[in-house]
């Protein structure tokens, strides 16, 4: 798992782009968590695509994964063609984008929907408007990286 | 799977009480479906409880299952004590109760949240107010029973 975490970082480089499951306000059931996380990077799904074997990945992750390791599914190893990736059901995307995340900015503690989280979070720092704090913000989000999640 | 379906019916008798995944408006990803369905009866979770191994069941299903087959988890066979069943995270319950279901009443086609589905559906027949139609309503919901879902 530590090993997997390592190669994922070297292939996807998505730590600063994607959101960690640690932003969820409570410990959700593992089966549910797996259903909303990328089977490549373990972050919350970002712009997800679905394989013919019906597993889900961030679009950028599966493309990088395929380029590095060939086009088989990272979850079940089934081979498939990249052109067979489809968009997940709209009802599923609605649920994903409405997941409540807990803003980690000190003193905020607001629950923000996943699809407006990034805007909300960055607003904290745009208002304060210094480069130094912008950097802190990014470091802060890094603390919510998933590590050693098993599987 | 046909066999499992059979013993589940003889143990849980929940066909008229629980809602089928077929009421969901689209084909959701299988991992997500599994996360919102009872690991005993395969219906959408009704009054769910969570085991120490973090699997989810309708409260009535797991109690009937335990009485018939002993208190081990139907999903992973881990033994546990009934007193260790807990309530799932509130954020998860919120998502479950907000799942959009498609009303199967002819001519309606409304999308209704899971937690108000039963009221909505029965209203169609209370308004018409005949015993015969009440019975038809129940038979109608029966058509949405899950059958042979595999696993
Ligand atoms: Zn990622
Ligand atoms: Zn990813
Ligand atoms: Zn797969
Ligand atoms: Zn905030
Ligand atoms: Zn049931
Ligand atoms: Zn059940
Ligand atoms: Zn279990
Ligand atoms: Zn209706």
Quick: pLDDT tens for B63-122: 999 998 889 999 999 999 999 999 999 999 999 999 999 999 999 999 999 999 999 999
Beta carbons within 8 Å of A116's beta carbon, 6+ residues apart: none
Cα separation, A137 vs B1, whole angstroms? 51
DSSP states of B85-144: -BPPPHHHHHHHHT-EEE--STTT--EEEHHHHHHHHHHHHHHHT-HHHHHHHHHHHHTT
Closest-CA residue in chain A for B89? A28
Cα separation, B138 vs A77, whole angstroms? 43
pLDDT single digits (tens) A104-130: 999 999 999 999 999 999 999 876 555
| Domain chopping of chain A, boundaries | 2-142
B52 Cα–ligand 4 center, Å: 33
- Positive or negative CA dihedral for B75, B78, B81, B85? negative
The whole-number pLDDT of residue A143 equals 40
B13 Cα–ligand 5 center, Å: 7
Residue A40 has pLDDT above 90, yes or no: yes
Tell me the HSE value of B145 on the side-chain side, using a 13 A CA sphere. Answer: 17
**Which of A95, A97, A101 should we substitute to test contact with B (largest number of B Cβ atoms within 10 Å)?**
A95
B104 Cα–ligand 8 center, Å: 7
pLDDT single digits (tens) B21-43: 999 988 999 999 999 999 999 99
Class of the CATH domain delimited by A2-142: alpha beta
- Positive or negative CA dihedral for A74, A76, A82, A87? negative
CB A62 within 8 A of CB A83: no
Write down the ipTM of this complex. Answer: 0.81
Asked if A94 lies within 8 A of B88 by C-beta distance, the reply is no
Which of B25, B29, B91 has the CB atom closest to A100's CB atom?
Answer: B91
A100 Cα–ligand 6 center, Å: 26
The whole-number pLDDT of residue B135 equals 54
Helix (H) or strand (E) holding B49: strand B48-50
Which of B24, B30, B92 has the CB atom closest to A32's CB atom?
Answer: B92
Which of A30, A34, A92 has the CB atom closest to B28's CB atom?
Answer: A92
CB A73 within 8 A of CB A81: no
Helix (H) or strand (E) holding A7: helix A2-12
Beta carbons within 8 Å of B102's beta carbon, 6+ residues apart: B23, B24, B25, B109, B110, B111, B112
Per-residue pLDDT band for B145 (boundaries 50, 70, 90) equals: very low
């Amino acid at each position: 798992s530590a090993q997997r975490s390592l190669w994922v970082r070297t292939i996807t480089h998505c730590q600063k782009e994607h959101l960690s499951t640690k932003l969820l306000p409570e410990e959700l059931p593992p089966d549910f968590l797996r259903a909303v996380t990328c089977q490549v990077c373990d972050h919350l799904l970002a712009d997800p695509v679905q394989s013919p074997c019906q597993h889900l990945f961030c679009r950028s992750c599966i493309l990088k994964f395929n380029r590095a390791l060939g086009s088989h599914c990272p979850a079940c190893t089934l081979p498939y063609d990249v052109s067979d990736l489809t968009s997940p059901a709209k009802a599923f995307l609605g649920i994903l984008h409405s997941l409540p995340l807990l803003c980690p900015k000190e003193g905020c503690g607001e629950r923000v929907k996943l699809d407006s989280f990034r805007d909300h979070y960055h607003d904290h720092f745009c208002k304060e408007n210094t480069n130094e704090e912008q950097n802190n913000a990014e470091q802060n989000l890094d603390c919510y990286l998933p590590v050693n999640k098993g599987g």
